[in-house]
Amino acid sequence: METFLGSFRQALHQQSMVLTMALVPNDTQQSCTSYGNGVFDLVQLGRYVDLTMLEPYGTSMGTSSSRCPAPYSDPPASPWSRPVASAA
């Protein structure tokens, strides 16, 4: 896996991109919820991944909100920002 991630990361860097991974705490060795048996070792993974995000999936954080807590808008330079066609 290290060879694949290292090669993939290098190819992304050549395209001015970065390699990110999103993991749940149970999958990481350093998490108390995996009891040290997680699939991913964050120390080793850090050699091959630019950014790792731990997704806080759990029931101790409360219930989900029905809406976004703040107004959301696409960044001005976002390639996904397009004018919305009027339905009228």
Q: What is the pLDDT of residues 4-49, one digit of tens each?
A: 989 999 999 999 999 999 988 888 888 777 777 888 888 888 889 9
* pTM for the structure as a whole: 0.56
Give the helix/strand (H/E) hosting 75.
Answer: none
Question: The tokens of 32 are what?
Answer: 């108390």
- Domain positions in the chain are 2-54
CA 20 to chain centre: 6
pLDDT in tens, 61-81: 556 656 655 565 554 554 444
- Smallest CA-to-CA distance from 5 within 15, 19, 17 is with 19
